[in-house]
Amino acid sequence: MRHFSHFACVDWSGARSERPNGIAVAMIGPDGPPSLLSPQPRWSRADILAWLLRLAETGQDILIGFDLSMSLPFVDQGAYFPEWQHSPDDAKSLWDMVDRLCSDDPHLSVPSFLDHPEASRHFRHSRDHVGDLFETGVGRLREVERYQRETKQANSASCFNLVGAAQVGKSSLTGMRLLHQLRGAIPVWPFDPVPDRGPVIIEIYTTVAALAAGLPKGRSKVRDRGGLEEALTELETALPAPLQHYDDHSTDALITAAWMKRTAPHQELWTPPAMTAEIAQKEGWTFGVV
C-alpha cells in the first residue's frame, strides 16, 4: 500500500448554521500525538472546502477521513430514487444533483433537496412527516451498512432517516455537496483510483475506530481526558496536550486520526472482499469495514 505522511479525520455536521458545533478536525503526522486544527471561531463547511483545496495544491501525502456516508443506497432497488425519472446512475452524478438543486442554499446546506417534491418522498423528515417511499423499519441501507450490521462491526443508520440523534442523512448530503465542489481536486476512494502521491479522501465511521481503541459498544463516545487517554494508549499513540474543552466531536476526530495512521498500511482494508466494482461506484464503502 502507498505511503501517507499525515492522517486527518473530519468529524462532520449537517446542521444548517454556518459554523456548526459538530465539525472537528484532527491531524497526526509521522511523529508525535494527534492534534486538533482549530480555526476561530469555529469551522464552517466552506472552511473545510478551502482547506482541502490547499492540500490539493500543495500535494501533501495526507489521508483524510470524513465521518459521513458518501452515497445513498442503490443496489437494493437498482436506483437511488425509484419512481423518479431523473434519478442519477452513479455516486458522482448524485453529488452533482444534490449540489445543483441546493445551489441557492447557504453554507453547503441541503433544505432545497429535502424539500424537492420527488426527493422528499424517500426521506423520513420527522415523526409526523414521512415520505410515501420511505422504507419502513430502519430504512434503506447501502450494502456496506447492511454488511456492518450483519457482521456486527457497527450499527449503521439509514441516510434516508432524518430523525433522532443517530441520523446521518443531512450530514451525508452536505458532504456530497462538498465532494462535488472539489471538482476532482482530491481523489475519493473507492470512486477514484488511489494515486501514488498527494491527498486522498475516504469515508470513515468513527465508531469503528472507537471500538478498535477498546471503547465498549454502546458507549463509544468520549467526553473527558481519561477516556481519551485510554483510547489513544490502546492505539499506541502519544497523548496530546490537554484540551480546553472535551466533547465527543473533538475526541472522535483525535481517536480516528490515530486509528487511520495505524490501519492505513493494511492492504486488505483497501480491497474488502464484499465491495464489488458496482458497489464501489454506486454506493462507496466505509474504510476499515472488512
Tell me the pLDDT tens digit for each residue of 201-239: 999 999 999 999 999 887 778 999 999 999 999 999 999
Report whether 64 contacts 287 (CB < 8 A).
no
Q: Is the pLDDT of residue 40 over 90?
A: no
Question: In whole angstroms, what is the distance from residue 189 CA to residue 35 CA?
Answer: 24
What does the mean pLDDT of the chain come to?
96
Place of cell 437494493: 76
- What's the pLDDT score for residue 165? 77
Q: Model confidence over 246-287: pLDDT tens digits?
A: 999 999 999 999 999 999 999 999 999 999 999 999 999 999
56-65, 95-104, 157-166: least confident range: 157-166
Question: In whole angstroms, what is the distance from residue 290 CA to residue 286 CA?
Answer: 9
Mean pLDDT value across residues 154-158: 89
The reply to whether omega before 265 is within 30° of 0 (cis) is: no
Nine-digit cell string for 232: 489513544
Q: Is the pLDDT of residue 242 over 90?
A: yes
- What's the pLDDT score for residue 26? 98
Instruction: Name the pLDDT band for 166 (thresholds 50, 70, 90).
Output: confident
> What are the two backbone dihedrals, phi and then psi, of residue 55, each rounded to the nearest 5 degrees?
-65, -40
Question: In whole angstroms, what is the distance from residue 249 CA to residue 67 CA?
Answer: 10
- What's the pLDDT score for residue 164? 85
- What's the pLDDT score for residue 235? 97
Mean pLDDT value across residues 74-89: 98
Report whether 186 contacts 62 (CB < 8 A).
no
pLDDT over 90 percentage in the chain: 91
Q: Is the pLDDT of residue 154 over 90?
A: no
Mean pLDDT value across residues 167-193: 97
Instruction: Name the pLDDT band for 2 (thresholds 50, 70, 90).
Output: confident
Nine-digit cell string for 285: 464503502
| Residue 67: DSSP 8-state | S
- What's the pLDDT score for residue 11? 96
Instruction: Name the pLDDT band for 103 (thresholds 50, 70, 90).
Output: very high
Distance from CA of residue 2 to its chain's centroid? 22
- What's the pLDDT score for residue 137? 87
Q: Is the pLDDT of residue 197 over 80?
A: yes
- What's the pLDDT score for residue 106? 97
Pairing, β 200-203 against β 62-66: parallel
Nearest to 121 by CA among 91, 78, 80, 63: 80
Report whether 263 contacts 179 (CB < 8 A).
no
Q: Is the pLDDT of residue 18 over 80?
A: yes
Q: Where are the alpha helices (DSSP H) in the chain?
A: 45-58, 91-101, 111-115, 143-151, 169-181, 206-212, 225-234, 248-263, 277-282
Question: What angle is formed at CA 90 by the lines to CA 181 and CA 272, rounded to 5 degrees?
Answer: 100
- What's the pLDDT score for residue 216? 83
Question: In whole angstroms, what is the distance from residue 25 CA to residue 204 CA?
Answer: 13
* Greater model confidence, 153 or 70: 70
CB-based contacts of 103, cutoff 8 Å, min separation 6: none
What is the biggest distance separating any 2 CA atoms in the chain, rounded to whole angstroms? 54
Nine-digit cell string for 88: 442519477
Surface-to-core class of residue 25, CB atoms within 10 Å of its CB (0-12 exposed, 13-18 middle, 19+ buried): buried
